[in-house]
Chains A and B, each alone.
Chain A
Amino acid sequence: MELQGIGQIILFVVVLLVLAYPLGQYMAWVYTREKDDVIERGFFRVFGRGSGDEQNWKSYAITVLIFSLVFFGLLYALLRLQGHLFLNPDHMPGVTWPIALNTAVSFVTNTNWQFYGGESTMSYLSQMSGLAVQNFVSAAVGMAVLAAVVRGISRRSSGTIGNFWRDLYRSLMYIMLPLSVIVAVILIWQGVPETFSGHATALTLQGAHQSIARGPVASQISIKQLGTNGGGYYNSNSAVPFENPTGLSNFVEDLAILLIPAAQVFMFGRMVRARRHAWMIYTAMFLMMAVGIGVTTVAEQGGSAVLRQSGVNIAATSTQSGGNMSDKEVRFGIADSSLWTATTTDTSNGSVNSGLDAYTPAGGAVPIVNMFTGEAIFGGVGTGLIGMFFYILIAVFVAGLMVGRTPEWLGKKIQAREMKLAAVGALFVPTMILALTAVAIATKAGEASIFNSGVHGFSETLYAYDSQANNNGSAFAGYGATPFSSALGTLDMLFGRFVPMMAGLALAGSLAQKRTVPASAGTFRTDGPTFVVLLIGVIVLTAGLMILPALTLGPIAEGLMH
């Protein structure tokens, strides 16, 4: 493939690192600042006595659950009633209940799985006050939980891990909002619409009428990228020129996908005072991401079986990018489409700038595997690094077994309770994905959602439950909405979000109570390259081996047949 594309990918990872490191330091400051600002003090006064106090992990977890439930209820009601409410210039009717249920859960869980076309289903009110608000808040909930978990890890002999309201507020006002404004300004400049006017109507050069959907797009796109949300304003998401008009807008949107998850690794390093350890985690994540980007790019540049056999010109030349251009845009070509697809599934973002259903078997297998790791390769805002903690504990445990000592992590003894929680955190979601995929494949009701016949139909199904469980939201978009698939997906998203989150908080509670022990000659060092190798090995052995049989039935079979 041409050097130009490789150069863009290298530029991307360099700029990412240059931005993520200082942002991580800033975020550590935000979450550890002792003093409340004026608005915080105001809130806690209104909330009543004790509302700003530190919480133990159970109290923190219950607050997260109740808050999410209340928000879900209101969002569901809004979607059902949008036809009777204001800010609806294109007269969208209320959303049907299976889609409203799926969508409300989808946004509250930071998944942004979309069983609907945004521009043809949602009123401006729903997009702005429902979905866009949830883009901010569900992301901030994930970030708050991570802040609490990291705080728990960093503390000694402590019963508490922080205050949910304070963490939520700071995530929103100190991190999400300023970054969203910056990204939105760049996107507007590049051509993303930002208006309250309804559809524009054009009389085309050949005399037809063309209706052009627009709206307050840029303000929503910036947060859907930054908050690893991924729910687009338009059905084809960031493939649509109005959502992503230029090479520069694409670069910025793709950076926004990874920015906060990458920064959180450095935030962690600073908060627990283990910077070298954080660098090793970053290295492990980066190496796994690089493999995914490489495989996807090479596979897509090689073209699909159908295109190779058709005889058309798929070679990369100075006048075309060539390769598998099905459901891809000319201004992104192969390199930028592949880079986006790998990064959006490393994190739990799930926005797309090309149609994944049309990807080659190898190109389509990369996102499936990326997501299946539990989004531990950078991962979603907050939730991703928590997923990585589970693998780190398993790695440390395995290392402890090898040398015959009680495993330690950051000076704390890892015992039966922590290992149970880590096992639940790492294994629950992959197991659920395989089970739900089996249910969806084995039943007539599940079969109705499949668009492509044969093994590709299996891949569509696997992708759907993989994506929803990991709160990603990208899709082999042929997979359709039925009441059955909406309901199954709703369960998938709920458990996929809250089971690992609760395991993470419980783990933090347990670690916070421990005393630290000084490192000895028998302590496994987590700040060197050996740890990176071991960590990647653990992820390959747990997630990799679990997904392999399913991959064989889907992408691998498809690749071998042609």
Chain B
Amino acid sequence: MLTRTIVRSLLVIVASTVVFGFAYPAVMVGFAQAAFPSQANGSLLYHDGHVVGSALAAQDFTGPQYFHERPSATTPAYNAASTTFANYGPTSPELAQQIHQRAEAILKLEGPYNPGLTISDIPVDAVTTSGSGIDPDISQAYAQLQSRRVAAVRHLPLATVDKLISENTTGRSLGVLGEPGVNVLELNLALDNLGDK
């Protein structure tokens, strides 16, 4: 009974490995590459013929002419090859200190362009790490907070920047599922492309 069951188990394992380990992913890869090549290869974005990132991954923006991403807990920040949560508990003193520092930095950066800006104007997603560390989106509120700075630094009318924000806002799927967000990389690419024209 024992040997027979072991032999049968091995046979089943070999068969399942062939079907589920190789055939199934191979067929799915074949289908994906034929039907949805852009998505299947990581939704990569191109500029001047080279890959500048993925529509599904945040990247590090520090320059004042760019919209900035949410904070990231990965090492280094926005590491799309090693994602992680920050894992600080809801009452963590370290978390309190980090949030305070991030809020101060935002006030310092955006304050000159937004007279009267206070901490209660800062949307929560601007000072919290995302789940993946590469959240490609920021809230519309955080985008609006940054728009005056970007417009001023780039010498653009605010209306132009606001228009680009709404063009690069992803709405809810099918109008109901999920939450709207502004894709930062696509928005910054669109801004850079304005200069090219």
A residues whose Cβ falls under 8 Å from a Cβ of B: 4, 7-8, 11, 43, 46-48, 51, 62-63, 66-67, 70-71, 74, 117, 119-120, 128-130, 132-133, 136-137, 165, 168, 172, 177, 180-181, 184-185, 188-197, 199-206, 208, 210-214, 216, 218-220, 223, 234-236, 239-242, 245-251, 303-307, 309-314, 317-333, 335-336, 352-355, 357-361, 364, 451-452, 454, 456, 459, 476-478, 558, 561-562
Contact = CB atoms under 8 A, between A and B. Distances in A.
A326 B129 contact: yes
A203 B52 contact: yes
B178 A246 contact: yes
B179 A326 contact: no
B150 to A, nearest CB: 13
A211 B80 contact: yes
B83 A456 contact: no
Nearest to A310: B99
A188 B54 contact: no
A85 to B, nearest CB: 13
Nearest to A120: B82
Contacts of B5: 62-63, 66-67
A327 B32 contact: no
Given A245-B56, A359-B90, A212 B83 contact: no
B185 A205 contact: yes
B62 A240 contact: no
Nearest to A360: B90
B118 to A, nearest CB: 8
B127 A312 contact: yes
B49 to A, nearest CB: 11
A459 B13 CA distance: 38
A327 B54 contact: no
Contacts of B31: 185, 188, 194
A306 B42 contact: no
B164 interface: no
A240 B83 contact: yes
Contacts of B173: 246-249, 251
A325 B82 contact: no
B9 interface: yes
Nearest to B48: A203
Contact of A202 (B12, B33, B44, B127): B44
A177 B24 contact: yes
Interface of B: 1-2, 4-6, 8-13, 16-17, 19-22, 24-25, 28-29, 31-33, 35-36, 39-44, 47, 50-57, 59-63, 66, 70, 73, 78-92, 95-96, 99-100, 103, 119-142, 144, 170, 172-174, 176-179, 181, 185, 188-189, 192
Contacts of A333: 178-179
A148 to B, nearest CB: 16
A210 B57 contact: yes
B187 to A, nearest CB: 11
Contacts of A326: 86, 88, 90, 95, 128-129
B9 A329 contact: no
Contact of B120 (A63, A168, A190, A311): A311
6 contacts: A74-B13, A177-B24, A202-B53, A208-B60, A312-B127, A358-B87
Nearest to A214: B42
- 10 smallest A-B Cβ distances: which pairs? A247-B178, A239-B131, A355-B85, A129-B21, A247-B177, A304-B90, A248-B173, A456-B89, A333-B179, A194-B32
Contacts of A477: 84-85, 87
Most buried by B among A189, A234, A311, A327: A327
A452 B92 CA distance: 7
A227 B9 CA distance: 20
A250 B178 contact: yes
Nearest to A118: B83
A318 to B, nearest CB: 8
A185 to B, nearest CB: 7
A239 B12 contact: no
A70 B8 CA distance: 10
A219 B24 contact: yes
B179 A321 contact: yes
A205 B188 contact: yes
A120 B84 CA distance: 11
B42 A210 contact: no
Nearest to B29: A194
Most buried by B among A201, A242, A359, A561: A242
Nearest to A248: B173
Nearest to B144: A319
A250 to B, nearest CB: 6
Contact of A251 (B126, B129, B140, B177): B177
A195 B82 contact: no
B137 A70 contact: no
Contact of B40 (A74, A194, A310): A194
Contacts of B52: 202-205
Given A239-B132, A246-B178, A326-B129, A204 B60 contact: yes
Contact of A328 (B130, B176, B178): B130
A234 B132 contact: yes
A331 B55 CA distance: 13
Contacts of A303: 124
Contacts of B135: 241, 329-331
B16 A218 contact: no
Given A188-B36, A188-B39, A326-B95, A202 B88 contact: no
Given A168-B12, A320-B140, 19 more contacts: A67-B5, A205-B59, A213-B81, A235-B82, A236-B133, A239-B132, A241-B136, A250-B178, A251-B177, A307-B124, A312-B120, A318-B140, A323-B124, A325-B124, A327-B86, A331-B178, A361-B91, A452-B92, A478-B87
B29 A355 contact: no
Given A188-B35, A212-B42, A330-B125, A319 B140 contact: yes
Contact of A310 (B127, B172, B179): B127
Contact of B9 (A71, A218, A358): A71
Contact of B21 (A48, A133, A165, A245): A133
Given A132-B25, A240-B134, A358 B90 contact: yes
B92 A189 contact: no
Contacts of B20: 132-133, 136-137, 172, 177, 223
A90 to B, nearest CB: 9
Contact of B51 (A201, A335, A452): A201
